[in-house]
Structure 1
Amino acid sequence: MRDQYAIDRRHFLALAGSTTLAAGLGVNSAAWAASSRQSLTVGTRTIEVNGKAATVFGITDVEGRSGLILDAAGGFNVSLNNTTDVATIIHWHGLTPPFGMDGNPLSQEPIAPGASMDYRFDLPRGGTNWMHSHMGLQETQLMAAPLIVRDGEPQMQEIVVLLHDFSFTPPEEILATLKGSGAAVAGSGTATMDMGGMAGMDHSGMSGNDSTAAMPGMDMGGMAMGAMDNMDMDLNDISFDAYLANDRTLSDPEVVAVDKGDTVLLRIINAAASTNFWVDLGQIEGTVIAVDGMPVQPLRGSQFGLTMAQRIDIEVTMPTDGAVVPVLAQREGDTARTGIVLAPTGATITKMSETADTKSAPVLLEMEQQLVAAFPLSVRPVTRQIMAMLTGDMQAYVWGIDGRTYDNRQPLEVAVGERVEITMHNMTMMSHPMHLHGHHFQVVGLEGRKISGAMRDTVLVPSMGMVTIQFDADNPGEWPLHCHNLYHMAAGMMTTVKYV
């Protein structure tokens, strides 16, 4: 079956022809001389979920470890080998390479079974990133892995946590169920979504061309809630069989040895296809030092919302009394949870339930309001403003941007050197984690209120909410801008930011 995001060869060559050569021009020869080629393999593997064997994808290094750890000074010099029986494309999420090296359906042709592709580009900084398929629904079958870039030797023990949602039901079947039943929850469950009276309302005809402010009556009083009064947001439209942290459920979690009193760095990646999580440290507090691989002013807390595709770096100091520290991730609006355990040698580890006592709240923008970039964009005038309306028809399960699906997209045009501002206004009853390829942007507005927020590559736009971002147009190409709920993207919520 032809992938719905595949492009014809003529379009691909027209896009890539001007960028492939440029991809090599920025390479620092000294860095590459000191850099050794890394090898990654895309393959299949078997894991155990809920007592049953499951065949899933994996991306591993030469030692069989998931993903890569690189030093920024050495650059990105990777050979990617596809040993599966399906074609694929792997995206380096969080990195900002030249267009031809990004790993998306517009920048390259799929890597055929048995074939390989080399990627080479500079790495300007360290950070917590990840890699994942950008072809069809392969990512939902765990074709994803950490991509950690360090600035020199680590200053403390680092612990990477990769979160997933998992279903034994093939993703194509889940999507077909969503398209066929509209308000029914797909997967193993049969619950019905509460659309708060909005089910069946077709928002696909709404346009962002005549609105730059919140709808009348939507003054949120600075709370950045994003949901209209008396209308329930729809939080989850798929019932998954399990939630995984480093491929394991909470019934048999990974236990990481940490000395009592030591401070460790948690690098947490939400690689779920359709789940927002609350990261919960329980009785202790941690310090957020980065989001999406970009440093922020330190922020203390014990619970942190993490939408699909986002990452969060948290420094945690272990108790001096030798107590264990569960690091949990609870699905928003649900009791289901997963996680890992940090434990000193010899500590007693009590079995934890996979369900919390109470349902969690929706993941909204409370933390986003508090985050401040450690290295914000330079102050300069905005030279291009764009309004992008996030639209959808829940009954037909069709999602779009400005009333258009990806196949019928109208690119958002920018020019090199511009300071671009995009306001994304969500006209649907579901939240959408919006990811822009090839750039880091700064969050500068929530619900029409200006902020000087974090630098990111993925930001949540809540139901009926509005988020404004700014970035410098300094990386030519035609870059995907899409919802990172994989089922929303597959149903059309993707467009491009195109340099003209």
Structure 2
Amino acid sequence: MNMLSRRGFLAASAAAICAAQMPRIAFAQGAAPISLAAATRTLDINGRAATVFGLAGPGGQGLILDPGQRFRVDLTNDLDVGTIIHWHGQIPPNAQDGVPDMPMPLLAPGETRSFDFETRPGTHWMHSHVPVQEMQLLAAPLIVRSAEDIAADRQEVVMFLHDFSFKAPEEVLAEISGGHAGGGHGAHAHHGGAQPMQGTLMGGTGAMPGMDHGAMGGMPMGQMSGMGGMMGMGGQMGGMAMDLNDYDWDAYLANDRTLSDPEVVQVERGGRIRLRVINAAAATVFWIDTGAAEARLVAVDGHAIQPLPGNRFGLAMGQRLDLEIELPSESSAWPILALREGARERTGLILATPGAEVRRVDAVAEAEAPAFDTDLAQEARLIAVDALPQRPVDRSQMLMLSGSMQPYVWTINGAVWGQHQPIIARSGERAVLSFHNMSMMGHPIHLHGHAFQVVSINGRPVTGALRDTVYVPPMSMVDVALDAGEAARWMLHCHHMPHLATGMMTEFAVSASV
């Protein structure tokens, strides 16, 4: 490995939203709202200029709020297309949730919209709810610090992950849905298939017609139940291979950079780090590998869990994890890597003490990383610190997750968005949603407007983590419990953007309590 020469420590740790020091954006309550702009920006990706989107706040890409600080934001659309931003992990009033026409329309170019709601602490993010725009990197961290964060003697570092293509998102979606995307890592061969959807794909229009007939779509539930969690680490189950990746991206980014020129975060010898990792990728699951830096997983999706030691943890699209790292009392550099599941590509950043030798890390590993959590072993080890209070279940509903690579259509309960039947509940009810994945791809399922608790994995009760996005691997079952919130239409969808774009979305329709 060669020495990094392009940027030094001081430049690499400049005050930016994803840099080591994470400057606090301090606003007194009642002060002017924070200005946030959806705008274009240019990145240097492996020596090639790329024009992408972004969300620029006062301190750079993203926002950091202090404990108890309200989300008082004026969002301006500086793009030449309409857009709308979802505050992923927050629970605003439904009208501020950021989904096209549910109920608010897209922001027109030049338009400003104001937001004001109570924040929830933790590692969250914000992104366009138009899939092609999220694929153009219209996303950024949204960190709400807790009083404990302020009091703790530790350095905070954000690692914001993306997958990236120099091609237009519409072209990427066309290749994926047409079966010519080149995603050959542990995947089936894909040929032919459905035509891609066009337009915004999210505003309740343009839903792809037709029903899905996934590989397991006709299996009786009794037989299906016995198969949960039987997927091997190599992505095999019987004679069937799971589809790990359906697109080979041009680059994998950590804080907008690749390992050819990674961010180098200056740290202290023996320092304590809270690493906030956000998977903002469109279609890539990552393993986070801290290498020689031993870590403890202390939160997922912004919610505390009982600490779990280790140096490799995975997260699917839309998910977040917080790691506490205690560095050795020595001068050194510690790469923190994000490994693409089922493949050799990787990205990441480097923690380094002043004056330490920083060696180049190859963007391609010697061996493929395994498939992520095919047996839900990681999820089963997560235990919530603040579990939902015990109470009787008022309503239970099953959601079948299906789809196939050819034709490339993905469904919930056999229907694409626009042909869906809402999942219903009354405000205040304790509801259990049972996600049964009958397809050969994993699905990170995200519910707007609610936090839920994982309460059963493949039929086994657990006191699992509180989340807003749960990963359901192939041929597996995950049950989550929640208390239905504001009476409104809340989105419930897969956070794999090509799956979402081809219809894998429904709504959790909450009615007023009687």
| TM-score class, shorter | 0.7 to 0.9
Matches within 5 A, 1:486-497: 486-497=497-508
The alignment covers a number of residue pairs equal to: 463
Aligned to 1:5: none
Q: For 1:73-105, what per-residue CA distance to the aligned partner results, in whole angstroms no more than 9, with x for missing partners?
A: 121100000111010000000001111111112
Deviation string, structure 1 residues 330-353 (Cα, Å, up to 9, x no partner): 100000000000000000001110
Question: 157, 160, 165: which is aligned to 1:159?
Answer: 157
| Cα deviation 1:211-269 (Å, max 9, x = unaligned) | 76661651647999996333211100001000000000001100000001011100000
CA distance in 1, matches of 2:225, 2:297: 36
Distance 1:421 1:308 in 2: 23
Please report how far the alpha carbon of residue 35 of structure 1 lies from its aligned counterpart in structure 2 after TM superposition: 4.8
SS in structure 1 opposite 2:356?
A: coil
Contact 1:373 1:452 in 2 (8 A): yes
Give CA deviations for 1:404-450 in whole Å, capped at 9, x if unaligned: 00021110011111100011111111111000000000011111111
- Classify 1:208/1:394 alpha carbon distance in 2 versus 1 (closer, same or farther; 3 Å): closer
- Partners of 1:474 and 1:163 in 2: how far apart? 30
Residue number in structure 2 paired with 1:370: 381
How far apart, CA to CA, are the structure 1 residues paired with 2:258 and 2:305? Answer: 31
Range moving further from structure 2, 35-44 or 160-169: 35-44
- What SS does structure 2 have at the residue aligned with 1:272? coil
> Equivalent residue of 2:418, what SS?
helix
Q: Aligned in 2, Cα 1:208/1:457: closer, same or farther, shift over 3 Å?
A: farther
Please say if residues 449 and 485 of structure 2, whose CA atoms lie closer than 8 Å, have aligned partners that are also in contact: no
Per-residue CA deviations over 1:465-495 (Å, capped at 9, x if unaligned) read 1111110012221111000000100010000
Matches within 5 A, 1:134-213: 134-152=129-147, 153=150, 155=152, 156-181=154-179, 184=180, 186=181, 189=182, 191=184, 194-195=187-188, 204-205=212-213
Within-5 A mapping of 1:396-415 = 396-415=407-426
**Distance in structure 2 (CA, Å) of the matches to 1:480 and 1:100:** 12
Contact 1:165 1:272 in 2 (8 A): yes
Q: What are the ranges of 5 or more consecutive residues in structure 2 without an aligned counterpart?
A: 1-26, 194-209
Matched, 1:38 2:34: yes
Q: Which of 468, 474, 487 matches 1:463?
A: 474
Confirm whether residue 387 of structure 1 aligns to residue 398 of structure 2: yes
Q: Find the partner of 2:44 among 45, 48, 51.
A: 48
CA spacing shift, 1:430–1:210, aligned 2, 3 Å? closer
CA distance in structure 2 between the aligned counterparts of 1:386 and 1:108, rounded to whole angstroms:
28
Structure 1: stretches of 5+ with no match in the other structure: 1-30
Q: Which amino acid aligns with 2:114?
A: D
CA contact (8 A) 1:266 1:313 kept: yes
Rounded to whole Å, the distance in 2 between the matches of 1:214 and 1:292 is 32
Q: Which residue does 1:91 correspond to in 2?
A: 86
- Gap change, CA 1:176 and 1:32, over 3 Å in 2: same
Cα distance in 2, alignment partners of residues 251 and 47 from structure 1: 13
Moved more, 154-163 or 259-268: 154-163
Partners of 2:94 and 2:165 in 1: how far apart? 33
**C-alpha RMSD of matched pairs (Å):** 2.6
- Cα distance in 1 for partners of 2:506, 2:218 equals 16
CA separation of 1:497 and 1:231: change in aligned 2, threshold 3 A: same
The alignment partner of 2:61 has SS state of coil
Q: Percent identity?
A: 47
TM-score (norm 1): 0.87
Structure 1 stretches of 4+ with a deviation exceeding 3 A read 31-36, 189-200, 205-214, 219-228
Counterpart-to-counterpart distance in 2, 1:301 and 1:57: 35
- Does the aligned pair in 2 maintain the 1:270–1:309 contact within 8 Å? yes
